[in-house]
Structure 1
Amino acid sequence: MSKHDTLLRTLALLRLIPRAPAKRDTSTLHELLREEGFTVDKRTLQRDLQNLSAKFPLTCEVTEKNAPHRWQYTAGFASDLPAMDTAEALFLAMAEQSLTSKLPPSALGHIRLRLARARQHLDSLETNDLAHWDKRVASIPEGKELIAPTVKPGIWESIADSLLNQHAIDVTYRSRFKKALKQYTVHPQGLVVRGAISYVLATIDEHEDIRQLALHRFQTVTPSAETFRPCPDFSIETYVQQGNFDYPVDSQPVELVADIYQDLAWKLEETPLSNDQQLSAPNGQGRVELRATVPNDKQTLWWIRGMGPAFLVRQPAEWRDALAADAAQVLAHAKTCGYQPAAENASS
């Protein structure tokens, strides 16, 4: 066997060994190498594994005296060499389902080979219960998911390169409100994926405040002659935690008190609104009192609006009044469209 063939066989062997906690015994590795076209006896294979363990973080487990040796990479080994195990493949397949609706195709393209490996691994399990994995697993959003807007080809790559290599870019950007094309020099500081839309967090021209620029509104992106202006104190984690994507009304949280349906209370018991959330026993009307400290932002109020009569706010008063005004507008509009309450229908 030539040195070239030996090298290819060694690379194939390194790819076939899984990362802990998964393991593969010598017999299985021998069979998998044969399927890939490499003919080698088990003694040579065992010698290869011993030699490789001196250069790579490989461990060998022998449970009984005559039992096959089982090989694995150590759990913390960061490399694409270890064979993909079923749990990792299933996770990646579910992640792909979720990310496909959130990231532009060009962004997923950078990991498409790894995603394809995951699907290939699961599809190969003909004798395993996961052989038809695509019919048994799904990743779905909670609530209505909107269709992601189209991002122009090349925009994602240019933005990512600018962000990671820290250089300014000149862009043509479509304004949301004026719907006009604007020319900016942009200094990207971060990138956030929120629902179906990706946002570039950046300073613009000579301004120092962080702006949110929707990725799909970029029309052109070119390297700028301007020097990149970093924001050393900017933390994307702090920016998000401060509620900048939730349309804050006030930086101080509010105490939310509401009477809610029992089925909603059950859901919130499992997935609370806040760490200090309290739920009472059902009252005579079958409602549960909810108390929780929540951000004072429009996002929380929008979520409550979606609950309808299942979520009757008592405090804060501003939210109670806003929801009551919304209900009055909905009722007034329904009446103009021919709606009549049941009591009025009975008396007419």
Structure 2
Amino acid sequence: MSKTFERYQLVLQNIPCHPDYVTSLELRQILLSKDLIDSTLDDKSQMKTVQRVINKVASDYYSVEIDTEKRPHQIKISQGQQHPINPAAMSSVLSLQIIEHEVLEMLPPTMRKEVSNLISTGKAERDKRIELWKERFCYAPIEFQLTSPSFDESLIDTIEQGILEKRLLKMKYRKRGSLHDEVYSVEPLGIALHGRSFYLLAVKENSQDYRTFAIHRITDMSLGFTVLKPHQNFSAKQYIEEHVPHFSGGQFTQVVLKINNYEGLHLIEETQLSECQSIVESDDEHTTIRAKIRDSLGFEWWLMKNANLVEVIEPLHIRAKVINNLTLALGKYQ
């Protein structure tokens, strides 16, 4: 994350709504406290940097008002305007808690510090309704939370440089369970965060062999030569949805499930597997539904978690996979 972006976010977060205001001098102190301005520069140079950031924020958001007749300048969100990034009350608290539970704990220490800086203003907000919901709202993750694997954070910078400069990456990679490294030369295309692990999305040099590498299993990486025919466009989200079943992506398929009414009907009534879901038949004990889902590992895990309540009728290959998993699981306890 660049310092330019961090300065921009921190300034925007610290601009209060009318009738309160913040001065350019106060903004300078805030940026200095986060080491986002060079403290060795003289006051004039520091203020030039601050003013550039303020002007950029004001040009992006019409609601930002600068009173240049005051010395130092006073900056605020205009009367009647909502703050661009500080929604009030429960929505703000909800967002902050999700970020803290689902994002911060996934990140390595350096990244965690940077993201914490971006939400620090929201946590310090003294609005009465926000204070209320900080005490009365709790975000409870649905899944058991594993710890994040450690890795060399400089790998992210190298990958970013490779994507921007369209250069190959030379790397050593140790596959899961292996005792030896394998050497790869790849064109980096993107990064995915799945669970608490980061993955490099790449294509092997001089091929159309797309691969996904767990970054915490990369033991060495360096920049290589310029890619001769680089990818001009690549959507990480679209690629994962269409080609990576391990990340809850994969091809769409129709499933037919039989669900226990008493203990499991809430799974498909209160929430749905997808928007394309319909009831095939229903009696006093069971309800059978048809739904369109992605044939993914995420869906497989959901079926396993609810195997005592949900039976797969179709397709047969998913039913066979669940039966095999349950047989293997039962064997561990016999």
8 Å CA contact retained: 1:169, 1:185? yes
Of 55, 73, 78, the match for 1:71: 78
Q: Larger Cα Rg: Structure 1 or Structure 2?
A: 1
Residue 202 of structure 1 and its aligned partner are, at CA, apart by 0.6
1:317 aligns with 2:316: yes
**Map of 2:239 onto structure 1:** 239
Counterpart check, 1:115 vs 2:119: yes
Q: What pairs with 1:56-205 in structure 2 (closer than 5 Å)?
A: 57-58=62-63, 71-72=78-79, 84=86, 86=88, 90=93, 91-119=95-123, 121-122=124-125, 125=126, 128-131=128-131, 135-205=135-205
Asked whether the 8 Å contact 1:262–1:288 carries over to 2, the reply is no
Amino acid at match of 1:216: H
* Matches of 1:279 and 1:36, distance apart in 2: 61
CA distance in structure 2 between the aligned counterparts of 1:15 and 1:310, rounded to whole angstroms = 47
2:295 aligns to what SS in structure 1? coil
Question: Which amino acid letter does the alignment assign opposite residue 168 of structure 2?
Answer: A
Structure 2: 5+ residue stretches without partners: 1-9, 28-54, 66-75
Letter in structure 2 aligned against 1:71: S
Unaligned runs of 5+ in 1: 1-11, 38-51, 61-68, 337-348
The answer to whether the Cα contact below 8 Å between 1:17 and 1:72 also exists between their aligned partners in 2 is no
Aligned length: 281
> What is the CA distance between 1:14 and its match in structure 2?
8.5
- Give the strand-richer structure, 1 or 2: 2
In angstroms, what is the RMSD of aligned CA positions?
4.0
SS at match of 1:168: strand
Q: CA deviation at 1:253?
A: 1.5
Contact 1:93 / 1:115 at 8 angstroms: preserved in 2?
Answer: no
3-state SS of paired residue (2:105): coil
Change (3 A) 1:309 1:169: same
Residues 175 and 292 (structure 1 numbering): CA distance in 2 closer, same or farther, change over 3 Å? same
**1:318 match: secondary structure:** helix
SS at match of 1:278: strand
Deviations 1:258-308 (A, max 9, x none): 2334443223223311222123675232x2222212333444233212212
The answer to whether the 8 A contact 2:172-2:182 is kept is yes
Return the letter of the residue paired with 1:225.
Answer: F
Cα 1:298–1:16 shift into 2, 3 Å: closer
Output aligned runs, 1:11-26, within 5 Å.
17-18=15-16, 23-25=17-19
Maintained 8 Å contact 1:313/1:319: yes
Change beyond 3 A, Cα 1:83–1:192 = closer
Give % identity. 19
